């Protein structure tokens, strides 16, 4: 293993009582070594804009080691110490001092994670329900629930047309209300309803419990991107309100770019923005079989179905299935 060099001045050390390390080693030589992990909470490093020539995968690997440290409360080495030689497994495959992790860190299975937003990170039902109620009441409906069934049918059909590439998300904005007005006794203006709904969608809906904690961990282990079929105004308002922007190196919203999942173009744009990561270590995570799973599979990347609200069997061709977001942690580490 290579040398560890100092990455902070005396003054900085005083501000950061934890040792602050910089590792100079080829990626394939990095190993989990228990006590010689890095306590590196400098956001600059984690986000890959350190001044040295480390690459994102390397900093992610270091972060994985940090996770092990935090979990097991191992004492870090002091400034100036050297990382000890890589321990070798004994006959049982156990490596002394490695906290049970016997695999080189370089073997992390996924280093780029593409996330869907609605019904994967954010409670889309709550968001949509509140927005619908708000919109209908402003249009004079005494009981918005009366209009829910036809709305759901219309909305579902329109989003299927988006996935088929026949219309864009922005077309859905007022068209769903034009069709709802035509199909019911509602008397209102579809443009105004579209505006109200967009406002309501952006202003309502929370993250599923545990999402922030999981994103905090994942962002230290991998590059994250958001690939969402939605209206830009809605998604941007939610991302800002929920403070999600900071996790993603690319945020690609179909309503802004004019192409949608499951087509390949939106993935082309995402990969371009991320600097063309390796497809072999990229994972698409989402709740939708027709957009997220089909999109990932068509593009030649691995897929993880977030099936928290589905009891369907996992269709062939899907690589992973989870029912809680934190199940991603061992999956991307390849544990
Ligand atoms: Mg979704």
What is the 288 CA–ligand 1 centroid distance (Å)?
5
Distance 312 CA to ligand 1 centre (A): 16
Q: 140 alpha carbon to ligand 1 midpoint, in Å?
A: 30
Same fold, 112-122+207-333 and 125-203: no
> In the prediction, which pLDDT does 309 show?
87
91 — pLDDT class (breaks 50, 70, 90): low
SS (H, E, C) the chain: CCCEEECCCHHHHHHCCCCCEEECCCHHHCECCHHHCCCCCCHHHHCCCCCCCCCHHHHHHHHHHHHHHHHHCCCCCCCCCCCCCCCCCCCCCCCCCCCCCCCEHHHCCCCEEEECCECCCECHHHHHHHHHHHHHHHCCCCCHHHHHHHHHHHHHHHHHHHHCCCCCHHHHHHHHHHHHHHHCCCCCCHHHHHHHHHHHHHHCCCECCCHHHHHHHHHHHCEEEEEECCCHHHHHHHHHHCCCHHHCCEEEEHHHHCCCCCCHHHHHHHHHHCCCCCHHHEEEEECCHHHHHHHHHHHCCEEEEECCCCCCCCCCCCCEEECCHHHHHHHHHCC
pLDDT given at position 7: 41
pLDDT at 269 over 80: yes
Lowest mean pLDDT among 81-90, 114-123, 125-134: 81-90
CA of 147 to the centre of ligand 1 (A): 23
CA 110 to ligand 1 centroid distance, Å: 21
All structural domains of the chain with their residue ranges: 4-107, 112-122+207-333, 125-203
Distance 99 CA to ligand 1 centre (A): 36
Q: Please tell us whether the domain made up of 125-203 is placed in CATH 1.10.150.240.
A: yes
pLDDT > 50? residue 61: no
Per-residue pLDDT at 297 exceeds 90: yes
- pLDDT tens digits for range 169-187: 889 999 999 999 999 999 9
What separation in Å is there between the alpha carbon of 89 and the centre of ligand 1? 43
Reply yes or no on whether the pLDDT at 242 is more than 90.
yes
C-alpha Rg value of the chain to the nearest Å: 23
What pLDDT, on a 0 to 100 scale, did the predictor assign at position 102?
31
The CATH number given to 112-122+207-333 is 3.40.50.1000
Q: Does the pLDDT of residue 136 top 80, yes or no?
A: yes
Would you tell me how many other CB atoms lie within 10 Å of the CB of residue 172?
A: 22
For the entire predicted model, the pTM comes to 0.68
Query: Is pLDDT above 80 for 195?
Result: yes
- Name which of 95-109, 129-143, 148-162, 247-261 the model is least confident about: 95-109
Return the active site residues. Answer: 116, 118
Ligand 1 centroid distance, CA of 109 (Å): 24
């Amino acid at each position: 293993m290579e040398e560890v060099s100092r990455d902070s001045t005396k003054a900085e050390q005083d501000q950061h009582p934890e040792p602050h390390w910089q590792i100079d080693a080829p990626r394939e030589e990095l190993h989990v070594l228990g006590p010689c992990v890095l306590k590196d909470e400098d956001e600059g490093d984690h986000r890959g804009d350190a001044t040295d020539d480390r690459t994102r995968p390397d900093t992610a690997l270091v972060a994985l080691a940090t996770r092990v440290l935090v979990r097991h409360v191992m004492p870090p080495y002091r400034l100036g110490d050297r990382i000890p030689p890589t321990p070798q497994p004994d006959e049982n495959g156990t490596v002394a001092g490695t906290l049970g992790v016997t695999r080189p860190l370089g073997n992390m299975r996924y280093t780029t994670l593409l996330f869907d937003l609605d019904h994967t990170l954010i409670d889309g039902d709550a968001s949509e329900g509140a927005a619908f109620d708000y919109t209908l009441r402003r249009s004079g409906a005494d009981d918005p629930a009366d209009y829910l069934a036809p709305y759901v049918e219309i909305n579902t059909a329109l989003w299927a047309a988006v996935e088929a590439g026949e219309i864009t998300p922005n077309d859905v904005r007022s068209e769903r209300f034009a069709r709802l007005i035509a199909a019911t006794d509602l008397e209102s203006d579809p443009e105004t309803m579209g505006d109200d709904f967009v406002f309501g969608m952006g202003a309502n809906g929370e993250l599923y419990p545990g999402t922030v904690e999981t994103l905090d961990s994942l962002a230290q282990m991998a590059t994250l991107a958001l690939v969402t079929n939605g209206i830009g105004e809605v998604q941007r308002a939610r991302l800002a309100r929920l403070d999600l922007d900071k996790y993603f190196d690319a945020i690609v919203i179909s309503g802004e770019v004019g192409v949608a999942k499951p087509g390949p173009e939106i993935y082309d744009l995402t990969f371009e923005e991320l600097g063309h990561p390796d497809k072999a270590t990229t994972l698409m995570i989402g709740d939708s079989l027709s957009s997220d799973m089909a999109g990932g599979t068509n593009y030649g990347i691995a897929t993880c179905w977030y099936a928290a609200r589905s009891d369907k069997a996992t269709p062939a061709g899907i690589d992973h299935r989870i029912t809680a977001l934190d199940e991603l942690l061992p999956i991307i580490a390849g544990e």
